């Protein structure tokens, strides 16, 4: 079977592309390796996507479920598989799955998204979701009145650290250099906030605790000195949030001929890549604002472009 369109990835970008491809009556296959939704499948609350319901708490999962249902109504086929190699340069594109299956189509939309960079400390996996988080909006409430630490020094780290001060007793940013990467306007707000503190030239070396996170070992990257921070005995626990940037899921595209920039697929608002018939939608492409609303916009555009390409 040669499809008109294969969409790799069923996050918001891929699902929106599926809806639009259905409207264009394209014979479409959407391939996803895990559950639909991508990054938002981990998001407890979504509040900045237009038109969300206010009579129920909207999580990333509930929003995704409705998108998935909508895609079904438009008739796209689905496959549960992880694409491990992409042959994109011919007229017929060939995608090989971990299952061994080869999927073929005339056009491809790459919508595999991006993931958070891990903190890289000892015991990170042990405490993920048990004291270590990558989403302040999702988890800030669990750390109400406690001491919270934030790893990173970019816009996300500092904006989220400011947000966390509304919940935590004290928020301490741990940054590997002695100046922040975040925009000056964000820095100004941060330095004026009494609840925000900084540990410079340092990274988190180890997360400590039995069942809950109750301490950190911090390493000074200049001197190598290790310092242990313990939770206030009355609290018994602390929180650690990681905002160290995103990593685009493009490693499987190596050797495919797709042009990357800083790891992201080089594509503008048209979503066209350097290869004819191949489009990039959502967080995986070069862009300034990575949000659900911009991902679904890309998905619609990419499906439109695929249809235009197929129509010659």
131: region left, alpha or beta (phi > 0 left; psi from -120 to 50 alpha): left
Q: How far is the CB of 101 from ligand NAP (least distance, A)?
A: 35
Contact call for residue 282 and ligand NAP (CB under 6 A): no
Q: Is 139 a catalytic residue?
A: yes
Distances (CA, A) of 284 to 1, 17, 112, 225: 27, 14, 6, 38
Minimum Å gap between C-beta 246 and ligand NAP is: 6
Instruction: Answer yes or no whether residue 280 interacts with ligand NAP by CB under 6 A.
Output: no
Size, binding site for ligand NAP by CB under 6 A: 17
Q: Which residue of 27, 128, 181, 197 would you call a contact of ligand NAP, by CB under 6 A?
A: 181
Which residue from 37, 113, 153, 277 is in contact with ligand NAP, where contact means CB under 6 A?
Answer: 153
- Closer to ligand NAP by Cβ: residue 18 or 113: 113
Which among 288, 244, 31, 34 is positioned nearest to 150, based on CA atoms? 244
Contacts of 285 (CB under 8 A, 6+ apart): 264, 265, 266, 267, 271, 298
**Residue tagged active-site, from 4, 36, 121, 135:** 135
Q: Which of 36, 81, 139, 147 is catalytic?
A: 139
Q: List the interface residues with ligand NAP, window 154-173 (CB under 6 A).
A: 154-157, 159
Site residues (CB under 6 A) for ligand NAP, limited to 96-135: 117, 120
- From the number of C-beta atoms within 10 Å of its C-beta (0-12, 13-18, 19+), residue 193 rates as middle
We find the least distance from the C-beta atom of residue 113 to ligand NAP, in angstroms, to be 14
Instruction: Dihedral sign for Cα 179, 181, 186, 190, please.
Output: negative
Partners of residue 133 on adjacent β-strands: 241
Task: Determine the Cα–Cα distance for residues 71 and 66; give it in Å rounded to an integer.
Answer: 9
Residues near ligand NAP (CB under 6 A) are: 117, 120, 152-157, 159, 176-177, 181, 203, 243-246
């Amino acid at each position: 079977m040669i499809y008109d369109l294969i969409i790799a990835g069923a996050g918001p970008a891929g699902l929106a592309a599926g809806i639009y491809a259905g409207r264009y009556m394209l014979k479409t296959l959407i391939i996803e390796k895990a559950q639909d939704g991508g990054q938002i499948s981990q998001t407890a609350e979504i509040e900045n996507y237009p038109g969300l319901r206010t009579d129920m708490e909207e999580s990333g999962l509930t929003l995704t479920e409705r998108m998935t249902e909508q895609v079904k109504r438009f008739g796209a086929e689905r496959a549960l598989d992880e694409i491990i190699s992409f042959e994109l340069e011919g007229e017929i594109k060939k995608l090989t799955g971990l299952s061994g299956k080869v999927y073929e189509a005339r056009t491809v939309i790459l919508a595999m998204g991006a993931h958070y960079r891990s903190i890289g400390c000892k015991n990170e996996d042990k405490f993920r979701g048990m004291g270590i988080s990558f989403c302040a909006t999702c988890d800030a409430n669990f750390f109400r009145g406690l001491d919270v630490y934030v790893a990173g020094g970019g816009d996300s780290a500092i904006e989220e650290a400011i947000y966390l001060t509304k919940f935590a007793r004290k928020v301490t940013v741990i940054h590997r250099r002695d100046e922040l990467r975040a925009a000056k306007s964000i820095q100004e707000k941060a330095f004026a906030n009494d609840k925000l503190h900084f540990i410079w030239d340092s990274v988190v070396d180890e997360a400590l605790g039995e069942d809950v996170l109750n301490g950190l070992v911090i390493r000074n990257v200049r001197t190598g000195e290790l310092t242990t921070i313990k939770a206030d005995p009355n609290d018994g626990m602390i929180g650690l949030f990681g905002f160290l940037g995103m990593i685009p899921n493009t490693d499987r595209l190596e050797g495919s001929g797709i042009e990357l920039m800083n790891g992201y697929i080089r594509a503008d608002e048209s979503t066209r890549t350097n290869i004819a018939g191949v489009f990039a939608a959502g967080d995986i492409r070069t862009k300034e604002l990575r949000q659900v609303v911009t991902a679904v916009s890309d998905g619609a555009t990419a499906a439109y472009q695929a249809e235009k390409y197929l129509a010659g």
